């Protein structure tokens, strides 16, 4: 999926790949401390090899993840969105999205959320959950949008 952000940035959203480990680690290093704290709820100076495997080697069934890369720099991840199915409640999944500081508040999180919602409905997910800081209003608003997208898509999938 390709999109143009309001600031003129051209972005491509694609499924994450195993080969993205170094790109993902680099993306974390480019995030501000505040963005890292909002995503991981604590300081996160680096991702371990085990975490990188978990985050990039996804099955696209129970663990779905997409990255946003710059169109002219496909080696630069500027956003990541994922959901992981709850093993005890298979129609639910925990969702997480992080957007690079330079492209926050430009609709990229919403675009990743739509992609995730479409993938969720296609795989039987009907509800998203998320762990967020109470003061992270942007994340709460984004989850509301994504949940509305999921609700809008789910009836169509059930009727099909």
Domain, as residue range, for 139: 2-159
- DSSP state for residue 47 in the 8-state scheme: -
How many residues does this entry show for the chain?
Answer: 160
- Cα–Cα dist 71/108, whole Å: 13
Q: Are 126 and 92 in contact (CB under 8 A)?
A: yes
Looking at residue 125, which CATH number applies to its domain?
3.40.630.30
Residue-wise pLDDT for 93-111, tens only, equals 999 999 999 999 999 999 9
Q: How much is the pTM?
A: 0.91
pLDDT the model gives residue 43? 85
Rounded to whole angstroms, how far apart are CA atoms 8 and 15?
A: 23
Give the number of domains in the chain: 1
Mean pLDDT of the chain: 92
Range name among 2-6, 7-11, 133-137 with the lowest pLDDT average:
133-137
pLDDT, tens only, 18-41 = 999 999 999 999 999 999 988 888
């Amino acid at each position: 999926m390709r999109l143009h952000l309001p600031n003129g940035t051209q972005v491509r959203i694609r499924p994450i790949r195993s080969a993205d480990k170094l790109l993902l680690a680099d993306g974390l290093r480019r995030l501000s401390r505040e963005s890292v704290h909002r995503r991981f709820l604590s300081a996160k100076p680096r991702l371990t090899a085990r975490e990188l495997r978990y985050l990039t080697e996804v099955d696209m069934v129970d663990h779905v993840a997409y990255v946003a890369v710059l169109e002219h720099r496909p080696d630069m991840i500027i956003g990541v969105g994922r959901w992981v199915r709850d093993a005890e409640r298979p129609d639910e999944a925990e969702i997480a999205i992080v957007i690079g500081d330079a492209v926050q508040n430009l609709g990229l999180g919403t675009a990743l959320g739509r992609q995730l919602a479409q993938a969720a409905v296609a795989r039987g997910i009907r509800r998203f959950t998320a762990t967020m800081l109470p003061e992270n209003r942007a994340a709460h608003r984004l989850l509301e949008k994504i949940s509305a997208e999921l609700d809008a898509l789910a009836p169509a999938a059930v009727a099909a």
